[in-house]
A and B are shown apart, each in its own frame.
Chain A
Amino acid sequence: MRPALLAVLALALACRPSREQAEFRLRIALVGPLKALKPGMGEPSASDYAQEWVFESLLRTASDGSPIPWLASRLRFLTPSRVAIQLREGARFSDGSAVTAEDVRRSLAADALEVYEHEGGLLIESRSGAAVEPLLRHEAIYKRIGDQYVGSGPFRVVSFSPEGLLLRRVTQAPAKISEVLLLGLPTPRDPFARTLAGDADLLIIDDPKQLEFFQGVTRLRVVRGHGANAIAVAMGRRRMDRGVRRAIAAALPVGSISRLVFGDECPPFPSRADASSALPPRPLEVAVIRQDLALEHMALAVARSLGPHGGEVQFISVGDALRLLKTQEFDLMIVRPLVWPPSALGVVWASDSPYNQFDYRNPKVDAALKAGDWARALQALRDDPPVAFVCTPERLAVVDSRVKNPQVGPYGYLETLPDWEIAE
């Protein structure tokens, strides 16, 4: 009897589906065309979502906004602009080669960071004296082989075309996503249609109203997360001095504006009523890029909330908006600056940051950022405000219900995807 039982058990075990059979490919529907994956800030494309799965930076961001080691296993800030790190033991690129100091040096060169070998580890220093932490979170460490870029992340690129980017996990893990396929689709409605039709498993939602399409779709679940970009009102520094800008920031009823335009979908920033100057006598024009009806409504709401000081709403193109931000020759403009994590202040507002689109220069802010004191930098920013923050919209996505722990954020939109688990 016992041998027979053992034989049946052995047969049952032999018939169990293998891990190979349980591989899970996640298909993400995006608006294309896709571009070849390249670390850093190249021309933006939907392929950028895959950056964090293929390339690692030295630090990453915890859900509370604090930096945590990633490719760097240990770090010690000597000053805000100097940090000593140890690379993660055994860290390797997806081609099998080890990550070296030279790879780190080359990857960080674009940010004017010097890298030295130091006490068995690496010493990283900013040539300009800027705080290095935001840059270390942001910059991917890579290796170039011919025209290909190789990263040390959990996924590697298998194939690429403008319509599809296929990634495969370097080391397969049970009950995790094995492959990710980014689909570059022609029009904004195609990702929705393909996801609804069951041809895609993940879709990023820009507008909460779009969730209506997924009402009652049990195959998909809605995932919400804190947004990293705020909706804000930029104030032209060439036309208004510091006191007027502070008065405008104090006069804007951000709570009622965000509720009027977004309902409960955009938590407002706390209001700071510390104006000492009067609003200008002339009506202030409000510029907005004409592509999003919600932002148009925001511009109208801002103009109305200023009462007699609110002027006409002007609809402008993206190119005009970038030009005006550089010259600061405008009254008010609806913008979406990065606000999270706190160290993002260093990326957006530091005088010498390559990502300072507002051409904002404030020595007090720079000093606080160099000291790594984000609270002081924020206070300095409020004293000489380039923008008035209104609210931060949530991040939204719909994901296949078989994914057990999907998450958007905390920093990159889908950075936690490699850790997602798939229900058996």
Chain B
Amino acid sequence: MARKLLVLVAGSGLLIALVGLSAIVLLRRSAERSAQAALAVIAEQAAARIGAYLSHQREMLHALAGLVTGIPKAEQRLAQVALDAPSLGRVTMLTARTPAEQLPQHLAPADVVAALAGREVASPLYFRQDLTPAMDVCVPAGATPGSAVCATLDLLELQRQVQRIRVGGSGFALAFDAEGRLLAAGAPMLRAAVLTGEPVAESQLASKVARGEPAPAEFNSGIGEEVLAGWARLPDPRWTVVVEEPKREALAPMRTALIGLSAVALAALIVTAALGAAQSRRVLDTLEMEERWRTAGRIATGISHDLGHRLAILQSTAALAEANDPAYLPLIRDNLRTEMATLKKFVADFADLSREVSPDQFLPLDLNAFAQSVGRTIVPHAEKAGVHITVVPAAQTPWVKGDRYLLERAALNLISNAIEASPPGGQVSIEVTQRDRVATLRVTDRGPGIAEERLPRIFDAFKSTKRTGAHVGMGLPNVRRIVIAHGGDTAVESELGRGATFSIVLPIQPRPS
């Protein structure tokens, strides 16, 4: 019972541990998703700032273009703008007469033509001689056809914005153009690629994002370790921003929390199991003690009832003997014989109870031969009661292992009960069968049978079906004790008025060589 309780507690603990593990996995995934979402938000914010900055510069350029249109010395005034709006870099007027060496250096010829035709055009990002990131932008010069105002936008501020983004201890941001060229890098070890134009690990992903394809939120970064990432895309120019954080760092707080939580849960589990086991043992000890007292009480009740009955008969017999009437002598003799036999069986039952079952002393046993032997032993007793015994062996020889003496006591107990329950002229059959790795010895009588409500507790101690006062109800419990100790089981089937069948079921053993 204690072991079962312990297993129950341990099982519960295991279940809790499994639930805990599942919770850890779920928490980890949840933390990853949260970190990725946070990185994506930062990337979106960075992209929005870049977009707003560029938009602001273009708006300024448009405003300038509107202001200088048609005024004298427009070129000089535009040049002066560089002092008030240094982010516009060098501001110039573009016309069809502009010398080639004064055209915006990084605009394609087709873009220059388009700018003169009244379209807003922009070059890719490039690095000026002083290594400041820049972009040539031209906007139409007001309503004046064939002229445009151009600026060399100073994008140092954008580079600074991207480089200054810090996430945790070592998270960073990268900005790419539509072809996946690195424009700004928060990770110092990737910054050389900004100047050389060499692709980094993220370049291919960035060009995919620029095309509108989804990008993975987890990959091996150019910094040489696995990162979680959030991406954002600018519509114009088609740049992408990715914010990355090394996975080890992004999940570190969650990992620490989970380790702490797991440690606490494990400690709680161990304490609970220990307390549960200790408490169970204490309860079991109490129950066992109470059960012992109850058993002792039942034994005492049975013994006092049975011995009291026997004592009353012996007192009556003694009274007959004191009468000194020879006519009573046969009665006195019969009474004494009967009571002696009863008391002898009483003692034998207790002797059986006291005999321990030792599995290490079990020997192979042919159950067919065993049944025939028991049948022969019981024949005198059966004949005396006018009951006929039949033995039906199994078709094959079923071998079992056991203490022959105890098994014989158990079988004889069942057969004696069957004989006593049978009317004179009745029949008791002993049948042996073998099926599914078990052998069964069935004892069947055609007596009055047992009431259905008594069957479930028929093998309990002191629950004899006989109310003659000659038994304390130790026989069937002893049969069950012996059979269980042999690794087997007992069973009973009965119907009132149609007799009863008691079975001893034992595991089949290999035939001894």
Q: Which residues of B contact A294 (CB under 8 A)?
A: 130
- The stretch from A1-9, A203-211, A405-413 touching chain B is A203-211
- Please pick, from B79, B132, B196, the residue contacting A209 in the complex, using a CB distance under 8 A: B132
- Please pick, from B76, B79, B163, B188, the residue contacting A196 in the complex, using a CB distance under 8 A: B188
A197 nearest CB across to chain B (Å) = 4
Which residue of A197, A210, A304 has the most chain B CB atoms within 10 A of its CB atom?
A197
Considering the chains assembled together, what is the distance between the CA atoms of A377 and B485 in angstroms? Answer: 123
B residues 210-236 touching A (CB-CB < 8 Å): none
Chain B: which residue is nearest A313 at the CB level?
A: B79
A387 nearest CB across to chain B (Å) = 21
- Say yes or no for B404: interface residue by CB 8 A criterion: no
- The stretch from A136-144, A295-303, A334-342 touching chain B is A295-303
A304 nearest CB across to chain B (Å) = 6
Q: Which residues of A contact B195 (CB under 8 A)?
A: 189, 192-193, 196, 213
- Please pick, from A189, A219, A300, A312, the residue contacting B82 in the complex, using a CB distance under 8 A: A300
Known contacts A188-B129, A206-B130, A216-B186; decide if A296 and B192 are in contact (CB<8 Å).
Answer: no
- Scoring A residues 251 to 283 as 1 if CB is less than 8 Å from chain B, else 0, what string do you get? 000000000110000000000000000000000
- Say yes or no for B160: interface residue by CB 8 A criterion: yes
Indicate if the CB atoms of A296 and B90 lie closer than 8 Å.
yes
Chain B: which residue is nearest A312 at the CB level?
A: B76
A residues 289-348 touching B (CB-CB < 8 Å): 291-294, 296-297, 300-301, 303-304, 312-313
- Scoring A residues 350 to 364 as 1 if CB is less than 8 Å from chain B, else 0, what string do you get? 000000000000000
A187 nearest CB across to chain B (Å) = 9
Q: Which residues of B contact A209 (CB under 8 A)?
A: 130-132, 156
Q: How large is the interface on A (under 10, 10 to 19, 20 to 34, 35 or more residues)?
A: 20 to 34
Indicate if the CB atoms of B192 and A197 lie closer than 8 Å.
yes
Known contacts A212-B156, A212-B160, A216-B186; decide if A196 and B83 are in contact (CB<8 Å).
Answer: no
Which residue of A192, A196, A207, A291 has the most chain B CB atoms within 10 A of its CB atom?
A196
Q: Which residues of B contact A216 (CB under 8 A)?
A: 163, 186, 188
- Say yes or no for B164: interface residue by CB 8 A criterion: yes
- Say yes or no for A112: interface residue by CB 8 A criterion: no
Considering the chains assembled together, what is the distance between the CA atoms of A292 and B186 in angstroms? Answer: 27
- Say yes or no for B128: interface residue by CB 8 A criterion: yes
Q: Which residues of B contact A301 (CB under 8 A)?
A: 83
Tell me the dominant secondary structure on chain B's binding face: helix
Considering the chains assembled together, what is the distance between the CA atoms of A291 and B163 in angstroms? Answer: 27
Considering the chains assembled together, what is the distance between the CA atoms of A312 and B73 in angstroms? Answer: 10
Known contacts A297-B83, A300-B83; decide if A188 and B131 are in contact (CB<8 Å).
Answer: yes
Known contacts A197-B192, A296-B90, A312-B76; decide if A291 and B129 are in contact (CB<8 Å).
Answer: yes
Considering the chains assembled together, what is the distance between the CA atoms of A261 and B86 in angstroms? Answer: 9
Known contacts A209-B156, A297-B86, A304-B83; decide if A192 and B129 are in contact (CB<8 Å).
Answer: no
Considering the chains assembled together, what is the distance between the CA atoms of A111 and B425 in angstroms? Answer: 155
Indicate if the CB atoms of B159 and A212 lie closer than 8 Å.
yes
Chain B: which residue is nearest A215 at the CB level?
A: B163
- Say yes or no for A217: interface residue by CB 8 A criterion: yes
Q: What is the size, in residues, of chain B's interface with A at 8 Å between Cβ atoms?
A: 26
- Say yes or no for B370: interface residue by CB 8 A criterion: no
Considering the chains assembled together, what is the distance between the CA atoms of A123 and B83 in angstroms? Answer: 54
Tell me the dominant secondary structure on chain A's binding face: helix
Indicate if the CB atoms of A207 and B160 lie closer than 8 Å.
no
Which residue of A192, A219, A291, A301 has the most chain B CB atoms within 10 A of its CB atom?
A192
- Say yes or no for B89: interface residue by CB 8 A criterion: yes
- Please pick, from B82, B89, B130, B160, the residue contacting A210 in the complex, using a CB distance under 8 A: B130
Indicate if the CB atoms of B80 and A217 lie closer than 8 Å.
no
Indicate if the CB atoms of A192 and B131 lie closer than 8 Å.
yes
- Please pick, from B82, B131, B132, the residue contacting A297 in the complex, using a CB distance under 8 A: B82
Which residue of A217, A291, A300 has the most chain B CB atoms within 10 A of its CB atom?
A300
- Scoring B residues 82 to 102 as 1 if CB is less than 8 Å from chain A, else 0, what string do you get? 110010011000000000000
Q: Which residues of B contact A194 (CB under 8 A)?
A: 192
Considering the chains assembled together, what is the distance between the CA atoms of A193 and B195 in angstroms? Answer: 6
Indicate if the CB atoms of A196 and B90 lie closer than 8 Å.
no
Known contacts A196-B195, A216-B188; decide if A189 and B127 are in contact (CB<8 Å).
Answer: yes
- Say yes or no for B58: interface residue by CB 8 A criterion: no
Known contacts A192-B131, A193-B196, A215-B164; decide if A300 and B80 are in contact (CB<8 Å).
Answer: yes
Indicate if the CB atoms of A213 and B129 lie closer than 8 Å.
no
Indicate if the CB atoms of A293 and B128 lie closer than 8 Å.
yes
Q: Which residues of B contact A217 (CB under 8 A)?
A: 188, 191
Considering the chains assembled together, what is the distance between the CA atoms of A96 and B160 in angstroms? Answer: 52
Known contacts A188-B129, A297-B83; decide if A193 and B186 are in contact (CB<8 Å).
Answer: no
Considering the chains assembled together, what is the distance between the CA atoms of A214 and B86 in angstroms? Answer: 22
Residues of A within 8 A of B (CB): 188-189, 192-194, 196-197, 206-207, 209-210, 212-219, 260-261, 291-294, 296-297, 300-301, 303-304, 312-313
Can you give 26 contacting A-B residue pairs, CB < 8 Å? A188-B129, A189-B127, A189-B195, A193-B195, A193-B196, A196-B191, A197-B192, A206-B130, A207-B130, A209-B131, A210-B131, A212-B159, A212-B160, A212-B163, A213-B195, A216-B188, A217-B188, A260-B83, A294-B130, A296-B82, A297-B83, A300-B79, A301-B83, A303-B80, A312-B76, A313-B76
5 A-B pairs with least C-beta separation: A196-B192, A197-B192, A217-B188, A193-B195, A193-B192
**Besides A292-B129, A293-B132, 15 other A-B contacts (C-beta < 8 A):** A188-B129, A188-B131, A189-B195, A196-B192, A209-B131, A209-B132, A210-B130, A213-B194, A215-B160, A216-B188, A261-B83, A292-B130, A293-B128, A294-B130, A300-B82
